[in-house]
């Protein structure tokens, strides 16, 4: 039996190995499990963008891009299995869409020398390129998100949050705990008090006690760090206790159609942060329709095209594609390896003009990465749900986060990691 297993696995690995000349960008996705509803849209966007490049431009720099998909179900053990099974195929960059798997992979990728790109999630302090050579988290990270949300609240309150009460409803996991320290610091600076309300990750739907507390304490604002079914349950519960929706703001992972639709009209006015545009009103969708959706090459038939998470997956693919293009330019060869792609990320520059060229004008913030800064500018904006029209509307421009507060935190956290792991600073 062992022998048969071995030969089957060997056959499977051989069959899965792409032609060597292709560029390989594995898609560690999750279309099953508790977060499947969210993960599947992201994975579609990620796949479709590369399909578009392959079909329209013949790949990147004339090289086709292969996107082998591997199902992680948001589970770290399966994530490890996926990483190990794809890294031998010449993988250029990983994007696991899970903070837990990211923490797992950060030490591994530094040894295997493969870049890890975690837009809007993962380890915030990976922004410090001096410590995290192989990790990139542009355009924005959790702490940027927290700061942009607080800035939005400051705008609403005429520049002062003194004496306000803000509750943080968070997924009780590495992901949900990330913003706590930043919000505490921001609380000190702006004078608001922070109430922390954890929601157990395994029981995302059970939020009665948290919302009871919110009803009792009547915080001025509720900020949510949720994912999967937790978001839907929270928005429903907020509607049940008649918490004003426009005072309820989610991070970008708590701001997609699947989160608000179950609550119906009651979700109207719910806000969330975001770092990219949404909807199909960008010129790129003409090409996407022509080359991907209509010929039937879209991932899952293109049913999620234009949704928030689809756009985010597409945006992640876009940044990766641009980094590969930059790497090809720097190294002078179209067949780049993982180390060259890392150099490409570090020299990456996505200007508004370039975004317009790519068919996505004003879609994302400007990205400039350097050896020290692997996180870009951190700019994000706020969107609001319009239940009647069934769509998200952008209600603020791209806002710069409060780097004065964030940078010391990032330095402290990354330096602690450097000390623990024995890393000497670069740059």
Partner 1 sequence: MLYREAGDFKTSYREDSQTFPLRLDRWGYYATLAVAFLVIPLVINDYWANAVLVPFLVYSIAALGLNILTGYAGQVSLGTGGFMAVGAYATYKLSTSFPDISILIHILLAGGITAVVGMLFGLPSLRIKGFYLAVATLAAQFFLVWLFNKVPWFYNYSASGQITAPERTVLGWFVTGPQTSAPAKYLVCLVFAVGLAWIARNLTRGTVGRKWMAIRDMDIAAEIIGVNPLTAKLTAFAVSSFFVGVAGALFFSVYLGAAEVGEAFGINKSFLILFMVIIGGLGSIFGSFAGAAFLVLLPVLLKNVLVGTLGWPTDLAAHIELMIVGALIVVFLIVEPHGLAQLWRLTKEKLRLWPFPH
Instruction: List residues binding partner 1 (CB under 8 A).
Output: 5, 8-9, 11-13, 15-16, 29, 31-32, 36, 40, 69-71, 73, 75-77, 80-81, 84-85, 87-88, 99-100, 103-104, 106-108, 110-111, 123-125, 172-175, 177-178, 180-181, 198, 200-202, 413, 416, 420-422
By C-beta, is 182 or 272 nearer to partner 1?
Answer: 182
Is the Cβ of residue 201 or residue 379 nearer to partner 1 in the bound state? 201
Considering the complex, what minimum distance in angstroms separates the CB of residue 417 from partner 1?
8
Report the distance separating Cα 301 and Cα 130, nearest Å: 42
Residues 54-78: b if buried by 16+ CB within 10 A, e if exposed: bbeeebbbebbbbbbebbbbbbbeb
**Which residue, 383, 108, 148, is CA-closest to 272?**
383
- Of 85 and 368, nearer to partner 1 (C-beta) is 85
In the complex, the smallest distance separating the C-beta of residue 67 from partner 1, rounded to whole angstroms, is 11
Q: Is the dihedral of CA 297, 256, 317, 121 positive or negative?
A: negative
Supply the minimum distance, in Å, between the C-beta of residue 16 and partner 1. Answer: 5
| Interacting residues of 350 by C-beta distance below 8 A, sequence separation 6+ | 319, 322, 364, 366, 367
What is the torsional sign of CA 247, 251, 256, 261? negative
Q: Which residues of 97-108 are buried (b: 16+ CB within 10 A; e: fewer)?
A: bbbbbbebbbeb
Q: Least distance to partner 1 from the beta carbon of 159, Å?
A: 28
**Residue 349 C-beta: closest distance to partner 1, Å:** 29
DSSP for 154-177 reads HHHTTT--TT-EEEEEEESSHHHH
Tokens 């009647």 sit on residue: 388
Place of tokens 């069959």: 15
CB of 172 to partner 1, least distance (A): 6
What's the min distance (Å) between Cβ of 19 and partner 1? Answer: 16
Residue nearer to partner 1 on the CB measure, 234 or 284: 234
**Residue 397 or 420: which CB sits closer to partner 1?**
420
Q: Least CB distance from residue 207 to partner 1, whole Å?
A: 16
Six-digit token string for 250: 């989610």
Q: Which is nearer to partner 1, 13 or 21 (CB)?
A: 13
Burial track 202-214 (b if 16+ CB lie within 10 A, e otherwise):
eebeebeebbeeb
State the nearest-atom distance from the C-beta of 394 to partner 1, in Å: 29
**Based on CB atoms, which residue is closest to partner 1, 13 or 156?**
13
Cβ proximity to partner 1: between 107 and 283 the closer is 107
**Which one, 170 or 392, has the nearer CB to partner 1?**
170
Total number of residues shown for the chain: 427
**Nearest C-alpha neighbor of 146 from the set 334, 417, 415, 403:** 403
Q: Is 332 exposed, middle or buried (0-12, 13-18, 19+ CB in 10 A)?
A: exposed
């Amino acid at each position: 039996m062992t022998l048969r297993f071995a030969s089957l696995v060997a056959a499977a690995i051989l069959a899965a190995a792409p032609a060597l000349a292709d560029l390989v960008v594995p898609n560690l996705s999750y279309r099953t499990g508790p977060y499947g509803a969210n993960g599947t849209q992201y994975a579609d966007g990620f796949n479709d963008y590369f399909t578009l490049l392959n079909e329209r431009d013949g790949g990147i720099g004339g090289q086709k891009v292969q996107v082998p998909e591997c199902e992680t179900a948001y589970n770290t053990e399966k994530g490890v299995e996926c990483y190990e099974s794809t890294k031998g195929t010449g993988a250029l960059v990983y994007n696991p869409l899970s903070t837990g798997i990211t923490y797992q992979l950060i030490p591994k990728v530094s040894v295997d020398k493969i870049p890890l790109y975690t837009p809007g999630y993962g380890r915030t302090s990976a922004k410090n390129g001096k410590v995290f050579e192989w990790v990139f988290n542009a355009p924005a990270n959790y702490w940027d998100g927290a700061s942009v949300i607080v800035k939005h609240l400051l705008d609403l309150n005429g520049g002062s949050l003194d004496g306000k009460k803000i509750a943080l409803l968070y997924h009780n996991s590495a992901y949900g705990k990330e913003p706590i320290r930043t919000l505490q610091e921001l609380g000190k600076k702006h004078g608001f008090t922070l109430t922390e309300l954890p929601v157990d990750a395994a029981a995302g739907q059970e939020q009665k006690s948290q919302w009871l507390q919110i009803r009792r304490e009547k915080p001025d604002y509720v900020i949510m760090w949720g994912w999967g079914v937790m978001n839907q349950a929270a928005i429903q519960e907020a509607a049940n206790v008649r918490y004003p929706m426009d005072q309820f703001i989610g991070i970008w992972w708590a701001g997609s159609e699947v989160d608000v639709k179950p609550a119906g009209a009651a979700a109207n006015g719910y806000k969330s942060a975001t770092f990219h545009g949404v909807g199909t009103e960008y010129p790129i969708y003409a090409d996407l329709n022509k080359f991907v959706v209509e010929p039937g090459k879209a991932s899952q038939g293109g049913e999620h095209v234009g949704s928030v998470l689809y756009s985010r997956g597409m945006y992640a693919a876009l940044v990766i594609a641009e980094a590969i293009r930059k790497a090809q330019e720097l190294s002078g060869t179209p067949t780049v390896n993982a180390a060259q792609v890392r150099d490409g990320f570090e020299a990456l520059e996505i200007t508004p003009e370039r975004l317009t060229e790519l068919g996505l004008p004003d879609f994302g913030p400007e990205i400039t990465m350097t050896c020290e800064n692997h996180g870009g500018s951190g700019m994000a904006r706020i969107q609001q749900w319009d239940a009647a029209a069934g769509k998200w509307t952008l209600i603020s421009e791209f806002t710069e986060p409060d780097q004065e507060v964030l940078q010391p935190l990032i330095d402290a956290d990354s330096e602690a990691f450097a000390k623990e792991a024995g890393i000497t600073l670069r740059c």
